[in-house]
Amino acid sequence: MYRVDWMKRIDHARGHLTRLEQSLLDFVNGNPEKVVLLSQKDFLSRARVSKPILISLFRKLGYSDYRSFQAGVEQFFSTHIDSFRASRDLHERVRTIPELIDQAVHVDAQALGRLLATVPEETLRVFAEKARAARTVYVAGMGTGYYPAHYLAQRLRRYRIVTVLVSRDSGHSPDELFPLSSEDLLVAFGYTQDDSWLFPLLRFCRDRRAPSFLVTATIHPDYVGSCSYHVHVPRGEVRFKNSMAVPMAFANMLLLAFEVVHGDCAEEELQLLEETRRSWVGKKRQGGDDE
C-alpha cells in the first residue's frame, strides 16, 4: 500500500513542481537514507536547498510536516535504507564465526518466509503464460544479478523454451537484443548499485513492444514505470544484504510457477529431456581411437 501511495503522490504532484522542487525530489529518490536519517536542518545542508523549497515539496506531495515526509520515504525505500543502516552496524553484531553461521542461516530463513507472503501470485501466473508463448525469452542480470539470471535462462530450456542469456558486457547488449520483438519476453535482475545498464534495456523493450519483467532489490519510481511488471525481491535479510539466497529462490519460484501453470505439458517436456539424457550418454562412441 505504501509503495503505491508514494507513486501516486509523485504522479499527482509532478506537473506542479518547480524546477528546484523537481531537482530536490530527484535527490530524495537517489538518496532516501539522507531524508530518513538526518534532521531537517542537516538534510537541508546536504541537499543544498532552502527550507521553503523543502516545505513546498513535501506539501505538494501531501505531507503536513517533515516527519510525515520522512515516514513516507522510509516506507517506500525501506530495503535501501535498512541496507544502509546494516552496513554500519554489521561488525557490532557479529564477532565470531559461530555467530556468523547462526545469524546467516536464521536471517535468510526469515527473508524467505517474507518472500512467500509478498510475491504477487498474478505476476507468477503471467510470467508462466508469457514465457511459454514467447518466441524467445531474453534474461539479463549484471553483477550478482547474473546468478539468478543464469539459473533461470539455463533451466527454462528444460521446458523447450528458447532462451538468450544477455552477456555481462553491456556493450554487446544492442547486438544480442537486436532480434527482440513483441513476440519475445525480457526478464531482468537488477542487483547493482550502478543501474545505468538497465534503463536502455527496458527502453528498447518498450520500443519493440516486448513485455518485460524487472526483479530488483530496491524499489524506485523509475523502476516501476520502466517495465511491464516489477517485482521487489530483496537480497535477503537486510542485515546480511549481500546474500543472494532470496533472489535465487525467486528464480526457482518462477520455474515452479511454469510447471504448475502448464502441468502436463511441462511434465512431458521434462520426461522427453530425461529420455534425451539417457540416450545421450547411453550411445556408444562412434569412430576410431586417436592413436
Lowest mean pLDDT among 113-117, 144-148, 211-215, 231-235: 113-117
Dihedral of CA 196/198/201/202: which sign? negative
Output the nine-digit C-alpha cell for 61.
506531495
**Domain annotation covers residue 90:** no
Domain containing residue 58: CATH number: 1.10.10.10
C-alpha span between 114 and 128 (Å, rounded): 22
Instruction: Note whether 150 and 207 are same-domain residues.
Output: yes
In percent, how much of the chain has pLDDT > 90?
A: 51
C-alpha span between 67 and 188 (Å, rounded): 35
Average pLDDT over residues 260-270: 93
Range(s) of the domain holding residue 29:
2-76
Domain containing residue 243: CATH number: 3.40.50.10490
pLDDT at 191: 87
Closest-CA residue to 219 (of 204, 209, 207, 234): 234
**Domain annotation covers residue 156:** yes
Instruction: Note whether 60 and 136 are same-domain residues.
Output: no
Instruction: Note whether 153 and 238 are same-domain residues.
Output: yes
Q: What are phi and psi of 229, to 5 degrees?
A: -140, 130
**Domain annotation covers residue 28:** yes
Instruction: Note whether 163 and 229 are same-domain residues.
Output: yes
**Domain annotation covers residue 112:** no
**Domain annotation covers residue 211:** yes
Lowest mean pLDDT among 17-31, 69-83, 124-138: 69-83
**Domain annotation covers residue 252:** yes
Lowest mean pLDDT among 3-7, 113-117, 230-234: 3-7
Average per-residue pLDDT for the chain: 84
Output the nine-digit C-alpha cell for 182.
513483441
**Domain annotation covers residue 105:** no
**Domain annotation covers residue 217:** yes
Number of domains in the chain: 2
Lowest mean pLDDT among 83-92, 125-134, 157-166, 211-220: 83-92
